Amino acid sequence: MNVTEKFTPQTWPEHPETATMEGKNKFIGFWLFLAGETVLFASLFATYLALKDSVPDASHPLAKDLFSLPLVFLMTMILLTSSLTSVYAIYHMRNYNFKKMQLWFAITVLLGASFLALEIYEFNHYVKEFGFTFGSSAFSSAYYTLVGTHGAHVTFGLGWITALIVRNAKRGLNLYNAPKYYVASLYWHFIDVVWVFIFTAVYLIGKVG
């Protein structure tokens, strides 16, 4: 593939992410990867739901004792917004507007980072206030594993998108890196969807159900 080829917004293909064979492979391969990730998270959700009320005795906190919905709601809003900003970024990628794309991805990273910061605060709060650690009970292990795996995905996504932004800052947009941006945004949406399920299955059901 020719990476030095210069484009204008007019010659830039409508779907740059699948304009090359490599791009097509990345596109399909990544969707397959996400299918695997879905099963992975489904397994974690199943584990969590099986163990969510499993503590050795009443002195161990359960979901209703721990969670504070306002904080989690704020986290949810931040992450949902970051998904939206990554949609803008891809919109600008399709229009061959490199600068705006970079900007919107940078905003996405900032939002993601603040989500992560809140999550770290949240975990820290549970450990400090409730002595609720990874090894406290089967419930605590399941909770930290599910939410923590999501958090690890967020961290990885942040590192990935940042690497893309930095690496391509001088190179600009081409058919070699457009699929990479696209796939990273897919990944980001996926993380977001998983969070919606976590919000429902862990926090809402924990607090209300």
The answer to whether residues 19 and 181 touch, using CB atoms and an 8 Å cutoff, is: no
- 192 CB burial (10 A radius; 0-12, 13-18, 19+): buried
Nearest-approach distance from CB 65 to other proteins, in angstroms: 15
With contacts defined by CB under 8 A, name the span among 26-34, 64-72, 92-100, 101-109 that binds other proteins. 26-34
Which one of residues 7, 13, 19, 47 is an interface residue with other proteins (CB under 8 A)?
A: 47
Nearest-approach distance from CB 79 to other proteins, in angstroms: 23
For residues 122 to 141, the per-residue mask of contacts with other proteins, x marking binding by CB under 8 A and - elsewhere, is ------------xxxxxxxx
Assess 163 for contact with other proteins (CB under 8 A): yes
With contacts defined by CB under 8 A, name the span among 8-16, 36-44, 97-105, 121-129 that binds other proteins. 36-44
Q: Which residues of 157-180 are buried (b: 16+ CB within 10 A; e: fewer)?
A: bbebbeebbeebeeeebbbbbbbb
CA distance 9 to 189: 26
Nearest-approach distance from CB 5 to other proteins, in angstroms: 12
- 29 CB burial (10 A radius; 0-12, 13-18, 19+): exposed
Nearest-approach distance from CB 138 to other proteins, in angstroms: 4
Which one of residues 55, 84, 87, 201 is an interface residue with other proteins (CB under 8 A)?
A: 55
CA 152 to chain CA centroid, Å, is 9
The answer to whether residues 108 and 161 touch, using CB atoms and an 8 Å cutoff, is: yes
Question: With CB under 8 A, what is the number of residues at the site for other proteins?
Answer: 42
Both structure tokens of 97: 């507007």
Assess 28 for contact with other proteins (CB under 8 A): yes
Assess 169 for contact with other proteins (CB under 8 A): no
DSSP character for 56?
S
DSSP helix, strand, coil percent of the chain (3-state; round to 5): 75, 0, 25
Which one of residues 8, 21, 58, 208 is an interface residue with other proteins (CB under 8 A)?
A: 21
Residues that bind other proteins (CB under 8 A): 1, 3, 21, 24-25, 28-29, 32-33, 35-37, 39-40, 42-44, 47, 50-51, 54-56, 60, 134-142, 144-145, 159-160, 163-164, 167, 176, 180
